[in-house]
Structure 1
C-alpha cells in the first residue's frame, strides 16, 4: 500500500501502527527539550527520531543548526569537545576573529549570512551611516550565535501518500541598525521511517539596501564514519586550491589515515561536476564498505565546495562544505565581482540531503553513481 511505513522490518499502514501503540513517539517522533548544564545551559533543542534508527538534534538557539546525530546508536555527527555553547557566551571578535572555533561542534554549523570564510574589514558605506565606514567580520560570520524562532515542529502526512514526515521549521534574523537585515528560514525534514536528513533554506533581504550575502555549510562527520581507510568519493573536475599543510604533511584528500598527534588542518577546494539532476554529490565510505554517508545539494545555490580535514588526535573529523563562494572569501569576492548582493525582498534558496548508507551494496551503488558523473584524480 502507498501509505505503508517500514517499522522494525514490518510494512504497516499508519492505522495499523496506531493499533499497536497508544503513542507513536514510542516508534518515532519529535521532542522539544532545553539543555541544562555547563556551557549548554539554556539552549533550546529539538530531538527527532525515526523508526529506522536515525536520531537528530536541532539546536534552536544555535541558528537552527544540527547538533548530535546518531544512527542505531552509532554517532554520525562530529563532537569537538566544545559543547553546544549558549550564544550568550559567544564573543564574535574575540581571539582575532577566530572565536567561532569555540562554537564549532555538531553535524552542521552554518556560516553566514553576510560573510563566510576568514574575516577582516570590508566596506560598509552602502548602509549610509557616516560613523560606520567599514564592518569587521570574524571567521564564518555571525550566524552561528543567533537564536532562532521556532515556527513549526510536528508530524505531517506525506504529499505522495508515503511515509509521514517529521518536520521542524525555524527562522533566524541577522540584523543591526544601519546594516544588514537578513532572514534565514530553515526547514528540516526526516521521513518517519527514514535515514535521510533534508534541509531547505531560504535567505531573503528584509532591508532596503543592497546587502552582501554569503552562505556555507560546515557539515562535520566523526568516528566511526571517519576512520583509517575511509574513502572520500566525489566527481572532481580539478583541484582549485589546497592549504600549505597539504603539501607539507602529504596526507591524501581521498583516503584517510588514523588520528595523528599535532596534525595541522588541511583544506581543499575541489571543482565538482554536477549530476544530470543539477546536484553535487559526495560521499564518505568506510574502508570495508560497511557504512557511509552521502551529501548532495543543489549546485545552483552552492556551486563551490571545500573538504576540511581535521585529523588531529582528539579532534578527528572531516568537514564537507558546500559554499556560495570561493575559498578567497569576502574581500576576493568583492574584488572579482562574484559577491552576491541581495536587493530588498530578493532571496536565495538552498536544498541539501544527508543520507546514511548501510552495507556494501549501498556504498558500492553510491560510489558507482558518483563515478558515472565524473572521475576523481589521484
Structure 2
C-alpha cells in the first residue's frame, strides 16, 4: 500500500508500510529514483517517544566528495554516519564524548568516480580510505596481486561501489529500530555476479548497532567470495598503553617485520614517526554457539570499542597496528574476516577462500558497541575472559605465508 506523507517539507510518494515498519526508498537504479537530500524524525512521523531520533541523508558538494551521500542517524548524543556511495561504509560513530573512528589524511568522503583502484600498482583503494568500518570484498580481498590475467586490487571493490538500492526502515512500534540497507552489485561480464544487501540496524537510545550483510551469488556458476570487516579506531581510545583484548587461540606475525612486535601484540605505542604498519593473524576462540567478541580499550580502561560476531561466519581476525604520527594516520584495525589479508592467490592455496554455489547466499552479522565508561569496559572484558576460560594462546613465531 502506498501513502503520501510530508517529510521535512518534501512530499514523499515513495513511502510504504509493510511488516509494521515505515519504509523509505531513497535510491532505486531500476526505477530511476535518487531522492538526494532527505530527513525524517520521530516528530515528523508523529511518534511520541521518550528517546528522540532522526535519520538524514545529505548529498555532499565540492572537491572529490562531490556527489557522495552521507546518512546520519542521531539519537540524543549518539551519532552514526555512513556512506551508501562508498559501499555502506561506516564513517564514524560518536557518543558520550567518545569517537569510534580515526583521522585519516583522506579528509573527504571521496566519490568512487575519483578512485582508480589500479593506480600505484593496485593500491588506489587507499585514496578513499578513512572509514571506521570498511568492507573489504566481496569478490576478493587482501593485498594487491596480479594473477588470472587480471589485477586483484587492494581489498576489492565493494567499498568503492555506490549502492543500487537504498532503503530506510523504521519500526512502527517501540523501540522503533532503524535499519538502513543498501544493495551492492559486483557484476562483471564473465567474472562476477555477487550482490550484497548491506544493512545497519540501530535502536534509539542504545550504544550498540548491528551490521548484517547477505551476499548472494546470482551467477549460474560457483564463485569465490571473501570479506574482511576492516574496523578502525584512533584517538581517544587508541593511545600509548591501549590494549587489544580477545579470546585468542592462535596468533602469528603477518610477515617478518611483525615478528619484532610479537612480545607486545596486546598493547600499543604512542604516535611514533616512521612506524611501518604491523599486522598479526589471529584465530579466536568462541563459545559453544560460535560467538566471540574482541575489544580495544584505552590505557585506563574507561572507554573502548567492542565487536561481537560468530566464527562460523568469520573464522579469522587480522590485527592491524598503524601507530604512525597523528597526521599520517594513528590507527589500529580489528578486522574479522573469512580470510587473512594475504593476496587472494595465497589465501586460495591455504584454503581460506570459500565459494558460493549458484544462487546460494551467505550471511554475516556483527554487533559493534561503544563502551563509554569503566563499568562497560570491565563487563565486556569479563565476557571475553569467559570465552577464553583456561584455554591457552598459541603464539607462532613465523608468518603463515610469504607474499
Q: What is the TM-score normalised by the length of structure 1?
A: 0.86
Cα offsets for 1:161-180 (capped at 9, x unmatched):
x5221211110101111210
The Cα shift of 1:289 comes to 1.7
Q: Does the 8 Å CA contact 1:296/1:354 hold for their aligned counterparts?
A: yes
Q: Does 1:138 align with 2:153?
A: yes
The corresponding residue for 2:290 is: 278
Structure 1 runs of 4+ with >6 Å offset: 21-26
The 2-side partners of 1:115 and 1:31 are apart by 32
Most deviating of 318-327 and 181-190? 318-327
Q: Tell me how far apart the structure 2 counterparts of residues 99 and 272 of structure 1 sit (CA, whole Å).
A: 31
**194-203 vs 36-45, which moves further:** 36-45
Q: Equivalent residue for 1:54? A: 78
Q: Given that residues 98 and 372 in structure 2 are in contact (C-alpha distance below 8 angstroms), is that contact kept between their aligned partners in structure 1? A: no
Q: Which one of 373, 377, 382 corresponds to residue 359 of structure 1?
A: 373
2:321–2:331 CA contact under 8 A, matched in 1: yes
Task: Calculate the TM-score normalised by the size of structure 2.
Answer: 0.81
Q: Quote the offset at 1:307 in angstroms.
A: 0.5
Match of 1:305 in 2: 317
Q: How does 1:66-81 map to 2 (within 5 A)?
A: 66-81=90-105
Separation in structure 1 between the aligned mates of residue 189 and residue 153 of structure 2, nearest angstrom? 19
1:250 & 1:179 partners in 2: Cα distance?
Answer: 39
Matching of residues 44-123 of structure 1 within 5 Å: 44-51=69-76, 53-82=77-106, 83-123=108-148
Residue equivalent to 1:10: none
Structure 1 gaps of 5+ residues are: 1-16, 124-133
Task: Say whether residues 1:188 and 2:200 are aligned partners.
Answer: yes
Deviations 1:50-70, CA, capped at 9 Å, x for gaps: 23x221111010011111221
SS of equivalent to 1:112: strand
Query: How many residues in Structure 1 have an aligned counterpart in Structure 2?
Result: 347
Q: Which runs of 5+ in 2 are unaligned?
A: 1-41, 396-403
| 8 Å contact kept, 2:292–2:387 | no
1:14-42 deviations in Å (ceiling 9; x for gaps): xxx97xx9997993121111111322111
Give, in whole Å, the separation in 2 of the partners of 1:357 and 1:117. Answer: 29
Q: Which residue is 2:163 aligned to?
A: 148
Query: Contact 1:29–1:155 (CA<8 Å) still a contact in 2?
Result: no
Rounded Cα–Cα distance in structure 1 between residues aligned with 2:175 and 2:47: 19
Task: Name the CA distance, whole Å, in 2 between partners of 1:294 and 1:333.
Answer: 27
